[in-house]
Amino acid sequence: MTAFQLLVVFSVFSISLMAFILHRLGQSSGHIFDNEAAAISAFLEEFPDSAVDEVALSVDQRTAMMTLANEPCLGLVRAMGKFTLARKLAPEDIRASHLRDTELRLALKDFADPSFSIKFQSEELTRRWSGYLNRQEEPKTNA
């Protein structure tokens, strides 16, 4: 074997060993929100000046959507591995939304996160959050 081949084999082995050790130590498990308060807390870590009105957790408890007081956006917080990602969804961020049974799919204009799906507990809850998105997408008029 050449030195290059040995380097490749050693690199692959080392990376695989690290991945295995991290998995065995529990570092590969995904974050789960215990309740709505945990989802709100994760969102407020990123946006401390926001006020949350209403929250809905997904069935798998890895995602939550929320309405924000005095803001024309919706809040979204979800698990990204062991960590959480929070963002505000402004009307101009959403290209389209699709409703199917208890699943709400969003097509976003963000190339790094182009689509997103959340399954709610019931069809009624899914329709309600779809309604929030539809009201959000309506053009604002100046009075």
**DSSP assignment of the chain:** --HHHHHHHHHHHHHHHHHHHHHHTTTTPPP--SSHHHHHHHHHHH-TT--EEEEEE-TTSSEEEEEETT-SSEEEEEEETTEEEEEEE-GGGEEEEEEETTEEEEEES-TTS-EEEEE-SSHHHHHHHHHHHHHHHSPP---
Q: How much is the pLDDT for 36? A: 92
User: Does 117 reside within a domain?
Assistant: yes
- Would you say the pTM of this structure is higher than 0.75? no
Question: Which domain covers residue 95, as residue numbers?
Answer: 36-137
Question: What's 128's domain CATH number?
Answer: 2.30.29.30
Q: What is the pLDDT along the chain (143 residues), one digit of tens a residue?
A: 899 999 999 999 999 999 888 878 776 677 889 999 999 999 999 999 999 999 999 999 999 999 998 888 899 999 887 888 899 988 888 888 888 889 998 888 888 878 888 999 999 988 888 888 776 544 333 33
